[in-house]
Structures are given as structure tokens and as C-alpha cells.
Amino acid sequence: MSKPQLLSIGESIAYGAKMSSVDSVYFHAAQALSEAENAMKKLGVPANLMVSLSSAVNAATGSELGGKRSLVVSSVNNCSYCNVSYMRIPLVIANMWPPNKAGHDCMSSFKDAGFITFIPESTQEVVDTIIQACKVSESKNILMPSVVNIDMAGFQEPAHMPEERFARNYVSKFLMPHQISERKQQYFNSDYDPSFTMQQHKVMKNVPAVVESTSVLWKKKTSRSLPLVETYKLEDAEYAIIVSGFSSTTAKAAVNQMRTEGKKVGLLRIRVSNPWPADAVKIALKNIKKSLVFERFVSISSCGVLYNEAKHDSGFCSSFLLLGRYPNEKDFIDMFNRLVKSEKEEVVWLS
């Protein structure tokens, strides 16, 4: 195994792009992305700065249709990427939240646009997940875009790099089934077509099996899993914390502390949130009395994005929301204590 490298979020995105054999990366003008752009240049990954997210997505779309694996790095959200899913283009977007930014506009809209949604927990997983996302999106029975949603910034952590030859073989050569060229021009209908929507819906059902198979392949070489969900100390648990992203590490530390106090609590980390891994969630929570969902992304006028899904696959389940800052161990312990005392499900806004 390679020696660990201390990587920032931007550097982990750059290494993910390099190991995925990405032909070109497209950025939009945003201060939060400058670190990733500089890291790309140091690693020799072609980086193109565009004036807006729309122009970055459009350029990457054209690049993929021309037969070049591409990556978009973004930190804002709009509807620029809707047609990517509609056209069945396996583009990967690394979406990095700016510091202290609420993620409701990221999670909800990517889901509604039909993106496979990965939520990594660490810089290590950012590298690994970008590589996996390319492989999953480009699978012949999927061909849908992915977003690697990164809810952390201004952070450094050690990460091991996979062997570059293995990573290149893992993603394999980029083959675009509906590739265009000067000699082979194609027309793409931008109007709504129900049959296209049915295609999107049907192929998303193939995602869970492909994610799990690619995770097995990755683990054989790196000893690291890339599953739909991760369970932590749930075997004998009566209560569960459901969480995703970088907050998961803090939540695990809180679980460890509560376990030393004799509290039967475990954790379920959602690593792929779209399509929702309903079967995996139901199996993980089958013996749980009560669970809570902690998240930093909100569906406006409703509740948490993950909670909207998780409440259907669990018994007693409450939603805990925190915007504007990252949670600490005490936050998770306080959430657990409130959950245990609660007589009814509730939506709780933390400050």
C-alpha cells in the first residue's frame, strides 16, 4: 500500500480526476474551487476555467459526446445539468459546498435531475468515489450522470492513493455509445419525452447492483469498501443514528463514547442517496426500536432530504437538522438522548 498523503478537499478531487483518466476538467468561476484548479494543474490534469456553471456543464457535455471522459467541479447549483441526465450522458460532477453553506439546493435538485448521488465521508473517499462514479455512470446498463456531493471545505486528511495502473483498468477506456463527430452528426431532442423519462427511471434500478459489484472489485485491491450504505455497531443496537457525509466520522466518535456508557446505539451511513438504497436500509434497521436522521440538507417547506426517504424504511424515526455549522460529538449525544425520551416522532432544528 502506498504511503498516505495529506490532502485537502480540492487536492482529493484532483487525484480522483487523475486516477480516473479524465481527459478534461471544467470549472466555473468560484473562489471555493481555486484550490482544486491549482491541484489539477500540478498533477497535469487539463483544467478549463469557464465563466459560469452553465458553460462548464455545456462544455463537459460536448466533450463527453465527443468521446472524452470529463469532470465538472462545482460549488453552486442551478438547472444547468438537467439535460445531462435527459441525454443519458455519464458525466461526473464533483460538487463541493462552500464553508458553512446549507446543502438543500444541492441534494434536492441533483436528485430531481436524475443524478446518481454519492456522499463521501473523507478525503480518501472523495478520491475513491470519483473513480467509482465514473465506472458506475459509464456502465452499459446505466449511462446516467453522477454527482459526488462533498459537504466539507477547508479540511485536510491523510489518504492512500490506489495504484494508477489498477485505477485506469478499473474505470477502463471511455466509450460513449452515442458519440458524435463531424462525420456522424446526431440530433438530440430537448423537448420533454415521456419515453426518455421512463428510460431514466428504469436504468436507475440497475444502480445498486452495479455499485455493490464495483465495491467488491475495489476492495479486493485496496481493502476499502465503497458500498451503498455502511453499518457501524448496529449488530446489537436498539437505536440508530442515520447520517451521511463528513459528519459521519464525528457521529461514529459519539457512538463510541455512548457505547462505553452502555448505550445500545449504532450508526447507518448513507453513501449513495439516489437511487435510495431502500432494501439495504430496511435490512440494517430491522431490529432498531428508534432511529434519528441527522443532516445538513433540507427540502424547503418539508424536512430533511434523507429523512423524506428514510422514514419509509424504518419504524420510529425523527429528523434532526443543523444548518450553518458542522456538528460536534455533544450534538449527536444530545440528539440521541432526546430520541430516547421522545414519545412521538419529531422534526428538530438544532442551533
CATH code at 241? 3.40.50.920
Residue 197, domain extent: 5-222
Among residues 222, 253, 276, the one where a domain terminates is 222
From 150-154, 199-203, 284-288, the region with the lowest mean pLDDT: 150-154
Sheet (strand 265-270) strand order: 229-232, 265-270, 239-243, 290-295, 316-321, 347-349
Same domain, 214 and 240: no
Instruction: Identify the CATH number of the domain in which residue 188 sits.
Output: 3.40.50.970
pTM, entire model: 0.94
Question: At 215, phi and psi to the nearest 5?
Answer: -65, -45
Confidence of residue 227 (pLDDT cuts 50, 70, 90): very high
Same domain, 175 and 249: no
CA distances from 101 to 64, 113, 167, 297 (A): 30, 21, 32, 10
CB distance 74 to 28 below 8 Å: yes
Same domain, 107 and 235: no
DSSP codes, 230-254:
EEES-TT-SEEEEE-TTHHHHHHHH
Express each pLDDT in 165-189 by its tens digit: 999 999 999 998 887 776 766 666 5
Same domain, 131 and 260: no
Instruction: Judge whether residue 109 has pLDDT over 90.
Output: no
| Residue carrying C-alpha cell 441533483 | 110
Ramachandran sector of residue 182 (left: φ over 0; alpha: ψ -120 to 50; beta: rest): alpha
Same domain, 265 and 155: no
Same domain, 161 and 82: yes
Same domain, 235 and 217: no
